[in-house]
Amino acid sequence: MSVKEQRRRGRQGRRRALPAVLAAAVVVGGTLVAATPAAGAGSDQWVSLPPNAPGVGDVYRFTVPNSAIQPATGINGAVVAVEGNFAPGKTWTTLNMGLSGGNWTSTIGPLEPGLYYYQYSARSAWNQDAIPFRNPASPQEVTSKPAWNTLFVDGPGAEWLADVPNGGALEDLTYESSVTGAERSALVWTPPGYDENRAEPYPVLYLLQDEGQSYREWVELGRLKQILDNLAVEGDAEPMVVVMGDGESDEIRGEVVKNLLPAAEGAFNVSRNGDGRAIAGIGRGADQALSLLVSATGEFSEVGSFSGDLEQNVGKGKARQINDATDLIRLYVGNVTDPSYNSTVDLAAKLSAAGVEFQSDGSDPETGGTWDTWQKSLHDFAQRVFQDSGDTGPSEGHLPLAPHSLPAAGTTPTPWIDENGVVTFETGTEFAGANNVTVWGNFGPAGSWPRTPMTKQDDGRWRLTMPVEAGSYYYKFVVEGSDRKDTTNPTTVLSEPNWSTFQVPGDDTLRGEYTTPVAPEARGNVEVMNYTSSANGNPIRSAYVWTPPGYDPDRAEAYPVLYLQHGGGQTWTDWVEVGFAAQILDNHYAKGDIVPMVVVMANGNGVNFPNEITQRITVAAEAQYNVSNDPENRALAGLSMGSQAALSTLYTFPGQFAYVGAMSAFTNPPASANVAAINEGTKLLRIYSGDMQDFTYQNTLSLVSALDSRGIEHEFAPIIPGPHSWDVWQKALIDLLPRLFKG
């Protein structure tokens, strides 16, 4: 039996010898240190939870009094924002705020359960640096980031981060450092029921923070207390003491081994032997933990590296020493956006080449080099130390470690999308002199539009890399407040020349499932139909027409037809260019969910739409395509202004379209509306809306109330979380299509 196996089997029951207490200079704070509270909407009164539709989830509103900005920043803010980890992968992003009635406001959500951290910022002009600030009436929650507040969103998936009644305790530990010649502090968590007189000393986990962090961030942003409390209550971790030491030192061996360990062992009933000690760290702290693995082999039996690296080379002899003295070495890293990703790949290769036994947790595909990743790393590592965990492989869903690189700058169209949905945007060098460049796109919660900062590269280009879930997206660059097109993206949007689009394949989201292109042979055809409009001057206008696979212009039975309208500020191309309607139709057809139909997407701008649709658009479609003129085989739907077009046509010409869909809808029925004719001639009237972030939300509620009061038969679909956006309208279209022509 190896030395390692003997130590592993004997750990639980063996009584350890206790050397004399040597830490006479140790001072333990006599009062408990309260964990950073789960902020919610209570600690920062500038955050509120406005009423929202039932079942949608919490939408948060940030409200900053204009009068508070100058005292907090010294400037009169012209550009005010809330910045936080609200973008995909918990990427740091910016939500610009609008000024109304003396307050700057912004709304975001629903937020997935978890911890968010944020700050407010103000600029005197777009080309000036942002000055961060927080609500001065709220407590400072993050030691190293004075302007930050936190917001904990409770709910499914975040139970392990929630507060636990009767959990462990936090105490300050103060000691004299021979390395710095000054007093230093650490933070210590003791488990529920901690017994300072227990005969068997507690195993102890030492944690080291990254450069630029405070050791208190393990609690403030890492939610260590909640993580350890939950594990302790559930019995998923060995009862242990956790010491969060200050790794701000160039002599880490002296600081940890000669100072921190004796201090903790003198103040708490913890193990004084290496087989009862573990150490882990983040970034620089992980580097330090790994360096102690090599330089102080045997002082710690278990080592965790969270986004770390090891500069020292490890020889075969040292590898054997490490293997004999160490029970567990486990490597953690975020996705390829983690700055330490490739370093961790190299670390794994270095350890393997030396013959060091270790485990890899793989790469966390969801988040990068952020506390969101390290929370999960701590949660996993704490369940493995001082007990046999069984499974030694990566966490479920994690990806294998493999080197990652991007194409050479300026060589391919952008954005670059890797096989795991990580998207990289890059500008040319034309903005090298700019002070701030962001990507403004529908990447926020429920399709909202944050401005996510890009980072200037050495060659003057700006770059942003972040994970994005499957679906279709539209974006533009914002350079010091000026909208700019990504000129290396070949896609175009006719109605918004600065916008570009892209699609992230995948079936793990609804939009991903329906916007991912089907095989070429399974696609319908999209072509342009020209027609004469009723607009002034009778101009020739265009419409996109989608015909299903196998469309037969000579089929005896004419095809059912859906007339699908765009919104205000848009035109006939938007449902295809931004809404990805063709892909949605292709996917529905491939699944067998819809009947073979033709879809006409025409220009509804600047016309009396009821007349335009009945006298021009349908006439042209029936002349050029094999589509039905039977009202029971005609449908009309639209978004926003297009909903007004569809509804006004329903009120004006009841019975001409048996199926009507209205998205982000408004336009109440006029007093002259023939309710009996509407009900008799309409098989389906279905209303859709985004949540309270959709500026037509109240109009939609008013419409539904008016339909109810007038007795017009209709369906009000469940509220779709999100603002006035294509994410909402795509989901509405996905829901509507299978309902057509089935009656």
Residue 398 CB partners (closer than 8 Å, separation 6+): 361, 362, 363, 364, 365
Sequence-distant (≥ 6) Cβ neighbours of residue 235 within 8 angstroms: none
Q: Are 445 and 110 in contact (CB under 8 A)?
A: yes
**pLDDT for the residue 119:** 98
By three-state DSSP, how is residue 548 classified? Answer: coil
Give tens-digit pLDDT for 563-611: 999 999 999 999 999 999 999 999 999 999 999 999 999 999 999 999 9
- Give the sign of the dihedral formed by CA 403, CA 409, CA 410, CA 413: positive
Rounded Cα distance, 449 and 451, in Å: 7
The torsion angle over the Cα atoms of residues 304, 306, 307 and 310, rounded to 10 degrees, is -20
What are the b/e assignments for 668-707, b being 16+ CB within 10 Å? bbeeebeeeebeebbbbbbbbbbbbbbebbebbbebbeeb
Closest CA to 302 of 331, 262, 282, 275: 275
Q: No. of H helices and E strands in the chain?
A: 19, 35
Using a pLDDT cut of 90, give the percent of the chain over it: 91
Nearest residue to 367 (alpha-carbon basis) of 340, 336, 343: 336
Rounded to a whole number of angstroms, the distance between the first and last alpha carbons of the chain is 75
CA 228-277-14 angle, 5° bins: 100
Strands (E), 15-78: 27-28, 47-48, 60-65
Phi, psi of 171 (to 5 degrees): -140, 150
CB 437 within 8 A of CB 477: yes
Cα–Cα distance, 464 to 452 (Å, whole number): 8
Residues of the chain falling short of pLDDT 50: 1-42
Instruction: Give the model's pLDDT for residue 26.
Output: 35
Q: Where are the beta strands (DSSP E) in 300-413?
A: 302-306, 328-333, 359-363
Q: Where are the beta strands (DSSP E) in 97-219?
A: 98-100, 103-108, 114-123, 131-133, 149-153, 169-177, 182-190, 204-208
Task: Determine the pLDDT at residue 31.
Answer: 31
Query: What residues contact residue 13 under an 8 Å CB cut-off, 6+ apart?
Result: none
- Interatomic CA distance for residues 473 and 457, integer angstroms: 24
- Look at the block and give the residue holding tokens 């209709």: 714
3-state secondary structure of 100: strand
Q: Nearest CA to 58 among 689, 510, 693?
A: 693
Q: What is the pLDDT of residue 339?
A: 97
Bridge partner residues of 83 (DSSP)? 94, 119
How confident is the model at residue 15, as a pLDDT? 26
Question: What CA–CA distance (Å, rounded) separates 223 from 160?
Answer: 10
Q: Please list the residues that pair with 425 across neighbouring strands.
A: 464
Q: Could you tell me which of 331, 300, 297 has the C-alpha nearest to residue 315?
A: 297
Residue keyed to tokens 């009396």: 608
DSSP letter string over 255-293? IIIIIIHHHHHHHS-B--SGGGEEEEEETHHHHHHHHHH
Check if the beta carbon of residue 296 is closer than 8 Å to that of residue 347: no
Name every residue whose Cβ is closer than 8 Å to that of residue 639 and which is 6 or more positions away in sequence.
565, 566, 567, 663, 664, 729, 732
410 and 655 in contact (C-beta within 8 Å)? Answer: no
Per-residue pLDDT, 18: 28
Q: Which residues, including other chains, have CB under 8 Å from residue 539's CB and lie 6 or more apart? A: 532, 533
Task: Give the H or E element holding residue 441.
Answer: strand 437-441
**Continuous segment of H or E residues that includes residue 467:** strand 462-467
| Contact call for residues 96 and 79 (beta carbons, < 8 A) | yes
Structure token pair of residue 344? 């961790």
Q: What is the structure's pLDDT at 389?
A: 76
* Burial zone of 714 (CB within 10 Å; 0-12 exposed, 13-18 middle, 19+ buried): middle
Contact 690, 724 (CB under 8 A): yes
Residue 231 sits at the vertex; the CA angle it makes with 228 and 232, to the nearest 5 degrees, is 85
The pLDDT assigned to 410 comes to 85
Distance CA(527)–CA(381), nearest Å, equals: 56
Q: Two tokens at 201?
A: 């000393």
